[in-house]
Chains A and B, each alone.
Chain A
Amino acid sequence: MDELATVIEVEDLRRSFKEKEAVAGISFSIERGEIFGLLGPNGAGKTTTIRLLTGQIDPDGGRARVAGCDVVRDRTKLKALIGVVFEDQNLYDRLSGRDNLRFSCWLYGLPESRADEVLALVNLADRAKSPVRTYSTGMKQRLMIARALLHKPPVLFLDEPTRGLDPISARDIRGIIEGLRQEGTTILLTTHLLEEADQLCQHLGFIVGGKLVAGGTPRELKLAHGKRSLLVVAADLQNPNRLSETTLGMDDARDSDRLNELMKQGNVRSIHSQEATLEEVFIEVAGIRPA
């Protein structure tokens, strides 16, 4: 695992539920220490992809390797190398936060002191002894991340980690995720929040109807799907206090001349390239607005 540059390799992965093809032959790879964002509308196949890659369900076709383990053949070995934060807050709510983590320590054969270490890491040490049912949504989410980190897995799967959180809690979670990446953890993240994906992820994949319809770095995607144009803000010749906006195409010779003319007049106040936002990319590739 230590020598692997590519930590997650997915080739033509497929999975159907009855008539519906939830994952329809997707391929992608994730490098070590990278956050890969899997974006898509509800029911696109994001969670099924995570369940396939974490060995919860078997694929119908294709292959996938995570941390050097085949997700079907090396399932037992794989379990020790991955941490999963689920879409649902699946905690034992009668137990305290500490007892939830102690249980995971027992499962992984870790000393119980590790529970206190990770509780401190996610700022829950002061509520360690409280029953989980008394936690806020954000605290539960931090506890789930703590549980996933307990055995120091080199690969983390985060399914909608900030869903339903207030902005402050979401920011805290993003801070933890970014910290993990800096420590070298490879992360596959699904989210509906395109700004979050833009902020956190080095690579993105857009999944629609079980198919990966677009992929690349956030910048590549924005450039590939944005308009090749400039927004020029210039002062009016008659009234310099009045500003006007002009959109000029980058591939149009006439617009090039127009830009030169404005520059010569000395009235240009600012020029902005008009790259697409991730939301615009999403709408374009998915044909629908994000949820």
Chain B
Amino acid sequence: MHPRIIWAIARKDALDLWLNKATLGGLIAPIVLSLLYLLLGKVIGNSTMNILVYNPGTSNVVQILDSFQNIKVTQAGSSSEVSNAFSGVVSKGATHYAVGLVVPSGFDASLVAGDRPQLQLFLDAKDVNSQTRVLVEAGIVNYCRTVASPQPPVDLVTRVVNQTANTNMASTLSKFYASLILLVSLMVGITFMPQVLIEEKEKKTLRMLMVSPASFADMLLGKLIVVLLYQFILTGVVMAIQEAFTGQVALVVLYAVLGGLFSLSLGLLLGSLFNTVSASSAAIGPIAAIFIIAGVFVGPLGDMLSSSPVTKIVHFLPTYYIAEGVWNATQNLGTLSSQLLDIGVVLGSTIVFFAVAAWVLRRQSAVAASI
């Protein structure tokens, strides 16, 4: 292998992909989708969440409410004002509150003293989903731990109103579509890798390469590098636009890398199997659809479709685990075992696809001669 030659092939392919209107469109589409969605999100999702707090002792426990975005905190005059706001009997024209918190006077001191003070949390299920509820409760418990570790003697009473309502569907779907667009951005490998490999065969430029100082391995490595680079740049841009560097950021980045490598390995396999761009395009279409469809079966839609037999079938697709991993990581969900399963399936599938592609390419050792 020759670094100079690998770099030469990567430079040529980077330029060629840039000049190719079809691939350029593939690069721009996820960015446009992200920007469009960002714009829609700004327009539609710009509503302020009203929070009513009764905190006579000015406890710092209210800081956990900072985890909400676009909030407007109103100080209540009494605890009954808060409980009334969530009683379901709200007078016409009164402010609608999504979250209410009643912190007793001297809350922090009571914690330290071990008096087991009661803290009342009110949530409206129309605005706050179950995951957020868990987060808020965990935040309160963690705060209490910082005051009176290790066992916080707090009596947290949570009351959820409008349980049967659709839980803030707009907000949840917003996050869901964001992770779906992230999945779309991961398809660069599937679409670009076959393109750059098959075009060399179809246009017979591979013959030129094979009489130049380049080896077949140099050619493959150059292409893998440039497609991976495009993949990472695109995913990075989409993640930045979607503000996806949230939740478990390291895991989000890990899934972006693993997803990119998975896509690349599948693209390499397709590139090794087909000799014409038109034939590979026919295969790439359904595969790309499967890639995206798997993303539908995670998150809120996944919850709704969990009893569907299709869901069980989708669980056999490695792309489902990329989607699940991305969703869980961005939403701060998922357990260690679920993350290990997601990472294991994606990594394992990537290795298998690379191995099969290598085997196919080795079988085509006289590939330059066979075209």
Contacts and interface: CB of A to CB of B under 8 A. Distances in A.
A30 to B, nearest CB: 18
Interface of B: 4-5, 7-9, 11-12, 15-16, 19-20, 203-205, 207-214, 366, 368-369
Contact of B368 (A56, A80, A88, A104): A56
B212 A95 contact: no
A108 B218 CA distance: 13
17 contacts: A55-B211, A56-B207, A56-B369, A86-B207, A88-B207, A90-B205, A92-B16, A95-B12, A95-B19, A103-B8, A103-B11, A106-B4, A106-B8, A106-B11, A107-B8, A108-B212, A131-B19
A91 interface: yes
A94 interface: yes
A57 B366 contact: yes
Contact of B205 (A54, A92, A106): A92
A99 interface: yes
Contacts of A88: 204, 207
B210 A92 contact: no
B5 A107 contact: yes
B211 A103 contact: no
A95 B9 CA distance: 13
A107 B213 contact: yes
Contacts of B210: 56
Contacts of B7: 106
A167 interface: no
A147 B203 CA distance: 16
Contact of B208 (A55, A76, A84, A99): A84
B316 to A, nearest CB: 39
Contacts of A80: 213
Q: How large is the interface on A (under 10, 10 to 19, 20 to 34, 35 or more residues)?
A: 20 to 34
A109 B5 CA distance: 8
B207 A90 contact: yes
A131 B207 CA distance: 21
A91 B205 contact: yes
Given A95-B15, A147-B208, A107 B214 contact: yes
Contacts of A54: 211
Contacts of B212: 79, 104, 107-108
A147 B9 CA distance: 16
Contacts of A56: 207, 210-211, 368-369
Contact of A94 (B4, B20, B368): B20
Nearest to B208: A90
Nearest to B218: A107
A103 B12 contact: yes
A132 B9 CA distance: 18
A139 to B, nearest CB: 17
Given A56-B207, A108-B212, A92 B12 contact: yes
A147 B209 CA distance: 12
Contacts of B203: 90-93
Given A54-B211, A108-B212, A94 B204 contact: no
Nearest to A83: B211
A57 B369 contact: yes
Q: Which of A76, A80, A93, A106 has the most CB of B within 10 A?
A: A106
Contacts of B16: 92, 94-95
A281 interface: no
Contact of B19 (A79, A91, A94, A106): A94
Given A93-B203, A147-B208, A99 B213 contact: no
A51 interface: yes
A82 interface: yes
Interface in A99-114: 99, 103-104, 106-109
B4 A109 contact: yes
Contacts of A109: 4
Contacts of B15: 95, 99
Contacts of B207: 56, 86, 88, 90
